[in-house]
């Protein structure tokens, strides 16, 4: 059986490069040869054992590649075509998909969570940090890359851009809105860009890392709050003349940021949560106006599927948003363990790494 290299979860603290058989495909699948992939903050949760996956699973959920082989029922594509697929690969025909919520496709009971069924790569099936990946339900998920776009230009589409933008979309940002984004990692930075595209005119970014603050400004933040520099809630209330914000986007997944996001909402404002949380949240009565604040709290798992990918690549092709500054480091797949080390310790100003097999 022909083999390939793949980054495999061994146990908490250990993701290693190893050999595995090249995946077999069924009639509805495609085999994609990965040309570029990357590491997500969520992969770091997996590495640390904070988000459990099966031992031996190939990690990674951000594929850019070339169709190597198509399942017998997959029409409308050709082998050799450059494609991406979303981090989330909805089937298109499940109950959740037909309810309009493909990210929860086949919503299962993994680890007692009732959600995340649509997130399969590097979660419930082998992922993309490998030479090849099997893409399930290829007809719903393969999205051809427009001519003229490089791998790195579309590398953020499968997850980071889709998730970040969804923070603004799920929060229903309106023209003229004031939006705050808590945490300016790759997800929060894309949330800033998404809020701007949706029409927010005041965008406040909260973080402390100078390079991230600078890129947030490039992508549309007009105020910066350094969370190491005094009370964040007070600063945001002062910036909004005491009104609070229309939409607070949480892009970290901690009690502190969730709670601050709740405390800075205007009456009737929306908390749009993107973070992956690793422990139970509590909602203090005062932050929650005892349940009488007319606030909305909404969570979003990265939207996937080929139409979402087509739209995001169209945004890139249109030149409306330039996410190239997010790719700060490049590694060969052979060196992925070093890439994990750099990325998980956020050394050397890293934002996203491009990994090429
Ligand atoms: N909802 C989804 O579908 C989805 C998809 C991908 C990632 N995620 C999650 O999104 C979150 C962000 O991922 P990322 O890769 O952008 O993050 P990251 O780890 O690269 O960055 C986190 C940032 O948070 C900043 N920070 C730390 N404490 C802070 C505080 N108190 N206030 C404000 N900022 C603070 C850090 O300085 C850092 O810049 C993670 O929890 C990740 O798992 C969710
Ligand atoms: Zn991710």
The residue written with tokens 């910036």 in the block is: 239
Region class of 212: left (phi > 0), else alpha (psi between -120 and 50), else beta: alpha
d(CA 247, CA 181): 9
| Sequence-separated (6 or more) residues with CB below 8 Å from residue 300 | 103, 163, 166, 167, 169, 170, 272, 273, 274
User: pTM of the predicted model, to two decimals?
Assistant: 0.96
Beta carbon of 329 within 6 Å of any ligand 1 atom: no
The residue written with tokens 């809020």 in the block is: 195
Direct distance between the N- and C-terminal alpha carbons of the chain, in angstroms, rounded to an integer: 19
The ligand placed nearest to the CA atom of residue 47 is 1
**Distance, CA 78 to ligand 2 centroid (Å)?**
28
Beta carbon of 42 within 6 Å of any ligand 1 atom: yes
Beta carbon of 301 within 6 Å of any ligand 1 atom: yes
Helix axes 162-170, 306-318, angle to 10 degrees: 100
**Distance, CA 251 to ligand 1 centroid (Å)?**
5
DSSP 66-98: EEEEE-TT--S--TT-EEE--SB---SSSHHHH
In 213-302 the beta strands, taken as DSSP E runs, fall at 223-226, 245-250, 265-273, 296-299
Beta carbon of 39 within 6 Å of any ligand 1 atom: no
Cα of 198 vs its chain's centroid, Å: 18
Beta carbon of 164 within 6 Å of any ligand 1 atom: no
pLDDT band (50, 70, 90) for residue 1? confident
**Distance, CA 132 to ligand 2 centroid (Å)?**
18
- What mean pLDDT value characterizes the chain? 95
- Would you state the pLDDT for residue 164? 98
C-alpha torsion sign, points 152, 158, 162, 164: negative
Beta carbon of 209 within 6 Å of any ligand 1 atom: yes
Proportion of the chain above pLDDT 70, given as a percent = 97
Neighbours of ion ligand 2 (CB under 5 A): 40, 42, 159
Do the Cβ atoms of 71 and 28 come closer than 8 Å?
A: yes
Q: What does the pLDDT average to over 344-355?
A: 96
Q: What does the pLDDT average to over 278-294?
A: 91
Beta carbon of 274 within 6 Å of any ligand 1 atom: yes
Do the Cβ atoms of 54 and 120 come closer than 8 Å?
A: no
Give the CB-side neighbour count of residue 219, counting CA atoms within 13 A.
32
**What domains can you pick out in the chain, each with its CATH number?**
3-156+323-356 (3.90.180.10), 164-299 (3.40.50.720)
Do the Cβ atoms of 28 and 137 come closer than 8 Å?
A: yes
The residue written with tokens 């495909």 in the block is: 25
- Would you state the pLDDT for residue 278? 83
pLDDT band (50, 70, 90) for residue 111? low
Beta carbon of 227 within 6 Å of any ligand 1 atom: yes
Q: What does the pLDDT average to over 135-150?
A: 97
**Distance, CA 187 to ligand 2 centroid (Å)?**
9
Give the atom of ligand 1 at the shortest distance from the alpha carbon of 103: 3
- Would you state the pLDDT for residue 112? 59
Beta carbon of 185 within 6 Å of any ligand 1 atom: yes
Beta carbon of 256 within 6 Å of any ligand 1 atom: yes
Token pair recorded at residue 171: 């929060």
The ligand placed nearest to the CA atom of residue 38 is 2
Beta carbon of 275 within 6 Å of any ligand 1 atom: yes
Q: What does the pLDDT average to over 60-79?
A: 98
Do the Cβ atoms of 164 and 186 come closer than 8 Å?
A: yes
Token pair recorded at residue 300: 């979003």
d(CA 34, CA 68): 9
Give the atom of ligand 1 at the shortest distance from the alpha carbon of 212: 39
**Distance, CA 252 to ligand 1 centroid (Å)?**
3
| Sequence-separated (6 or more) residues with CB below 8 Å from residue 101 | none
Comparing CA positions, the residue from 191, 209, 223, 214 lying closest to residue 300 is: 191
Q: Which of 252, 302, 349 has most ligand 1 atoms within 8 Å of CB, for mutation?
A: 252
Please say if the pLDDT value at position 315 is more than 80: yes
Which amino acid residue places its CA nearest to atom 22 of ligand 1? 185
């Amino acid at each position: 059986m022909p083999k390939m290299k793949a980054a495999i979860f061994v146990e908490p603290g250990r993701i290693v490069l190893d050999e595995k058989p090249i995946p077999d495909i069924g009639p509805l699948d495609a085999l994609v040869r990965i040309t570029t992939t990357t590491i997500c903050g969520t992969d770091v949760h997996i590495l640390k054992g904070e988000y459990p996956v099966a031992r031996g699973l190939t990690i990674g959920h951000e594929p850019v590649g070339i169709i190597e082989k198509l399942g017998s029922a997959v029409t409308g594509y050709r082998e050799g075509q450059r494609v991406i697929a979303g981090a989330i690969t909805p089937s298109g025909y499940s109950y959740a998909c037909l309810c309009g919520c493909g990210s929860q496709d086949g919503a299962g009971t993994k680890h007692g969570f009732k959600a995340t069924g649509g997130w399969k790569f590097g979660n419930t099936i082998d992922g993309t940090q490998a030479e090849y990946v099997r893409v399930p339900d290829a007809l719903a998920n393969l999205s051809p890359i427009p001519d003229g776009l490089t791998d790195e230009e579309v590398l953020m589409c499968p997850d980071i851009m889709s998730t970040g933008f969804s923070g603004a979309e799920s929060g229903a940002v309106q023209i003229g809105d004031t939006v705050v984004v808590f945490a300016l990692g790759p997800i929060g930075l894309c949330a800033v860009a998404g809020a701007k595209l949706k029409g927010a005119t005041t965008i406040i970014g909260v973080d402390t890392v100078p390079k991230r603050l600078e890129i947030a400004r490039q992508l549309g933040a007009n105020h910066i709050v350094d969370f190491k520099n005094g009370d964040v809630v007070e600063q945001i209330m002062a910036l909004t003349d005491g009104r609070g914000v229309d939409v607070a986007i949480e892009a970290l997944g901690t009690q502190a940021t969730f709670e601050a996001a709740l405390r800075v909402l205007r009456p009737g404002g929306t908390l749009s949560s993107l973070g992956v949380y690793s422990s139970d949240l509590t909602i203090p009565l005062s932050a929650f106006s005892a349940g009488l604040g007319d606030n909305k709290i909404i969570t979003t798992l990265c939207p996937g599927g080929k139409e979402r990918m087509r739209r995001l690549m169209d945004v890139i092709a249109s030149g409306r948003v330039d996410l190239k500054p997010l790719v700060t480091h490049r590694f060969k797949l052979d060196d992925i363990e070093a890439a994990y080390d750099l990325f998980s310790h956020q050394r050397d100003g890293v934002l996203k790494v491009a990994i090429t097999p």
